[in-house]
Amino acid sequence: MIDAALFECIAEDSPDGIVLLGPDGLIQFWNRTAEAMFGHPRSAALGQRLFDLILRPEHDEEAGEHQPLAGGDASFDTIARCADGALLYINVASRRLRAGDGQLLGEVYNLADVTQLRTRRDAQLLEARYRELLDSMPDAVVVVNEVGRVALVNRQAEAMFGYQARELVGGPLEMMLPERFRPGHGRHRERYMSRPHTRPMGQGLDLYGRRKSGEEFPVEISLSPLRTDVGQFGLSAIRDISERRRVERALEEKNLELERANKAKDRFLATMSHELRTPLNAIIGFTGILLMRLPGPLTLDQDKQLNMVQSSGKHLLSLINDLLDLAKIDSGGMQMHLVPIDCNALVEEVVTTLGPSASSKGLQLQTRLPAGEVMVMADRRALQQILINLANNAIKFTERGRVEVYVEQGLGADGAPRVVLGVADTGVGMSADDLAQLFQAFTQVGDSSKRASIEGSGLGLYLCRKLAELQGSTIEVSSEPGVGSRFWLSLMGAGPAAEVTP
């Protein structure tokens, strides 16, 4: 029999964990050092199986190969798990106890914590092999061993976290994390170390580091396995993204401000439609009455001045209308009312409206129309506005020759009936660079010296494209400097015809 009192007296003062197993393999004695080392109180350890209590499942097989009951005395190193989940490197030495007649009385296990010893050895190895390389990297780098102890840090990591290397090496990686992330981090680290793989920087995870001062800061981390002849390590490259987050927050706040301002602008324009148009219509209307000489005769100077007032008023009203339409489109308030429209009749109306402008410049304003009605489903006001803008632009930028507004009926590439409405001119034309920025808002292309004498806000073509898109179409263009330009849009037609070639 074992003298339990003598055994306990000797074992309690041991610097190592001393554990006594009975013949059945269950713990009969668990000393104070084992309690402190593994965090399991004696009352919880007694009656348990040793390896079930302190070993990770993946190390059971390794430990089982060395169990004395399975084949004699043993000594081996393994990884043990503490009650709080922390991992330790331990050296296990065991010896069988037998009675004089050879009967097995039990086993004594000596469990030594060799974590610091093993980590120092790891640190020396990594320091010699990788220090120069890691110090040359722009990011902070931290290397940890299988039990989560820091084995090596580069200079960038020291600067980032505010520690000296000697304060970090040998300590748990969790000391570099905010306290709220520490309890669950060990399990995450273990899962990674059991199936190590490269995880690139910036995986969308919300990660934080903690400096020695206690300050928390956002980080991005990449993970890579580091395999050596003395074991496997995990390498973390860490990037402080505090400045990026600050800029992102500032941009978000600015975007919110811009969004609020844009919505306020849209609301203002939408509600001010009547207030903006009414006084201008009154100015234009009363100027027209004066020009008709209904109140009495006018001098030449008065006639000239009133024409300038009327022209400026019409230009300003056109600009306001464009702005209001864009505000409605951008806010989603522009509704398309699709109705059957005779394209030939619409083109005739547009040409009649713009005839005087073309005649005043000595231009021919022509039409090219198929016989009979050519029907499409479209929003009449929007389609008319597109044609007026395109034809008006053609007249503005054509000094001599002609402007043609045309309708073509045919088949689209998908075989469905299509109707093309277009405007062609013999004007100044445009270069490839001009065409690239043609449909941008508030942009006018071409020679700036020539544009100076031509009224325009740069909104017309941008608005035309928006109105066309709302009707399921788009405006296309071809042009050659000095030859002229052609603009057209294609809409769903009502019947078959020849292939459309704008």
Q: Per-residue pLDDT tens for 151-183?
A: 999 999 999 999 999 999 999 999 999 998 888
Show the beta-strand stretches assigned E in 301-356. 338-342
Distance from C-alpha of 346 to C-alpha of 380, rounded to nearest angstrom:
9
pLDDT (0 to 100) of residue 447: 55
Closest CA to 405 of 341, 489, 347: 347
Alpha-carbon gap, residue 414 to 12, rounded angstroms: 91
CA distance 424 to 224: 63
Which CATH number does the domain 246-330 belong to among 1.10.8, 2.160.20, 1.10.287, 3.40.50? 1.10.287
Tell me, what's the pLDDT at 274?
65
Domain with CATH 3.30.450.20 in the chain: 4-113, 117-240
pLDDT of residue 417: 80
- Overall size of the chain counted in residues: 502
Give the number of other Cβ atoms within 10 Å of residue 475's Cβ.
22
Nearest-angstrom CA–CA distance, 139 and 502? 58
> Per DSSP, what are the bridge partners of residue 228?
231
* Rounded distance between C-alpha atoms, residue 119 and residue 127, angstroms: 12
Q: Where in the chain is the domain with CATH 1.10.287?
A: 246-330
Is 186 within 8 Å of 85 (Cβ atoms)? yes
pTM: 0.54
Convert the pLDDT of each residue in 274-304 to its tens digit: 677 788 888 888 888 888 888 888 888 888 8
Question: d(Cα 416, Cα 297) in Å, to the nearest integer?
Answer: 59
Percentage of the chain modeled with pLDDT above 70: 88
Nearest to 127 by CA among 148, 145, 153, 160: 153
Q: Decide yes or no: CATH 3.30.565.10 for domain 338-492.
A: yes
Cα separation, 40 vs 46, whole angstroms: 10
The distance from CA 297 to its chain's CA centroid, rounded to whole angstroms, is: 68
pLDDT at res. 443: 63
Rounded distance, CA 86 to CA 480, Å?
A: 76
Per-residue pLDDT, 46: 93
Task: Give the other-Cβ count within 10 Å of 23's Cβ.
Answer: 13
- List, by residue range, all CATH 3.30.565.10 domains of the chain: 338-492
- Cα atoms in the Cβ-side hemisphere of radius 13 Å centred on 52: 9
Taking the C-alpha atoms of residue 82 and residue 37, their distance in angstroms, rounded to an integer, is: 8
Question: How many CA atoms, within 13 angstroms, populate the side-chain half-sphere of residue 501?
Answer: 2
The pLDDT, as a whole number, for residue 453 is 46
Low-confidence ranges of the chain (pLDDT < 70): 1-4, 6, 56-72, 204, 269-274, 331, 441-458, 494-502
Fold of 117-240: Beta-Lactamase (3.30.450)
Residue type, 48: Q
Enter the tokens of residue 396: 């503005």
**DSSP class per residue in 145-202:** -TTSBEEEE-HHHHHHHT--HHHHTTSBGGGGS-GGGHHHHHHHHHHHHHS---B-S-
Q: What is the CATH number of domain 4-113?
A: 3.30.450.20
Nearest CA-CA partner of 409 in 284, 283, 498, 303: 498
The rounded distance, in Å, linking the Cα atoms of 270 and 87 is 67
**Torsion angle, CA of 34/36/42/46, rounded to 10 degrees?**
-40
What pLDDT does residue 496 have? Answer: 40
pLDDT of residue 499: 38
